[in-house]
Amino acid sequence: MVQVEVSAVAAAAGQLVLAGQWGVARGLLEATQPVEAADVRAVALALAEVAVDEDFARQTQTGERALAALWRALEVLPDATAGWDAALLQLRSEYAPALFSGAKERGDSLVAKAVLLQDIAPDNGRAGMAAFYAGAIADNLVGDSDAAFKHYTEALELGESALDDLVISLALRHLGDHAHTAGDLKLARAQWERSTELRQKIGHLLGALAQQVLLCVLLKDEGEVAGSQALATEVNRWAGQAGIPFIEKQTAAMTG
């Protein structure tokens, strides 16, 4: 039997998740046979990440089992950083169905959880991710754009200090949305293009496609209707092949 470090397997699975290859990532992790408690915990954390990320992308709710296994692994061998990561995954798993079902009554409590996670985060990258979710929830469930903008700005600053391209891209995406709403198309384009570049850099398929949807909107606003429709057609095709229904649905209405 070939021996492979669990950390290397988990890292590979993380890259597969970014690429939208959730099934492959899950299969890789499930083929791993960890013995030590720390390795069991690491695999459980990676499997929970796969489940939560796929649930958001495909608007499903299948992550409960993986999260329960992760919490059990943490009971056996507690760890502050892994515990924080588990709490963020739990938050994400609660936010996604609330977002897709329009359960706005959950907004305030979820923002409070995100703010607490930001306050107790073990590093700036994680704090930035929590700040981003505080902003997204404030925006999408609470409807408080001023608070959301503040959280996004904090996320950007924390992401930049940690050199965390994913956090930076998330913050720029949503700051660009605020610029677009305010009518500042130049700033929106700069922020959305930079976010897109960062997502392409790290191999984040869903993220890059979601950004290109926004660029379709921007092209139309700038009067480039044909360009908007052409880009939407390509994004629609890619989202369909990757199995990302909400992007496929968004772009279907934009192809003309």
Once rounded to an integer, what is the mean pLDDT over residues 161-184? 98
Residue 176 lies in a domain: no
| CB contact at 8 A, 213 and 235 | yes
Which has the closest alpha carbon to 4: 78, 82, 13?
A: 13
Burial of 220 (0-12, 13-18, 19+ CB in 10 A): middle
Q: Which domain holds residue 78?
A: 1-101
Inter-CA distances, 101 with 109, 141, 195, 242, Å? 16, 10, 27, 23
Q: What is the mean pLDDT of the chain?
A: 96
Burial of 2 (0-12, 13-18, 19+ CB in 10 A): exposed
Residue 166 lies in a domain: no
pLDDT tens digits for range 69-122: 999 999 999 999 999 999 999 999 999 999 999 999 999 999 999 999 999 999
pLDDT value at position 202? 98
pLDDT value at position 210? 94
Residue 84 lies in a domain: yes
Tell me the one-letter amino acid at 186.
K
pLDDT value at position 256? 72
pLDDT value at position 2? 53
Report the interhelical angle of 107-120 vs 145-162 (nearest 10°): 30
Provide the 10 A C-beta neighbour count for residue 82: 18
SS3 118: helix
Residue 254 lies in a domain: no
Token code pair at residue 236: 């629609």
Residue 65 lies in a domain: yes
Residue 67 lies in a domain: yes
User: Residues 6 or more apart from 113 whose CB is under 8 A from it?
Assistant: 87, 91
Tell me the one-letter amino acid at 194.
R
pLDDT value at position 215? 95
Distance CA 23, CA 54 (A): 9
Longest dimension (CA), the chain: 60
pLDDT value at position 4? 72
Number of independent structural domains in the chain: 1
Distance CA 63, CA 207 (A): 20
Burial of 75 (0-12, 13-18, 19+ CB in 10 A): exposed
Residue 77 lies in a domain: yes
Which has the closest alpha carbon to 104: 138, 145, 135?
A: 138
Inter-CA distances, 22 with 51, 65, 75, 171, 205, Å? 8, 16, 26, 24, 12
Residue 138 lies in a domain: no
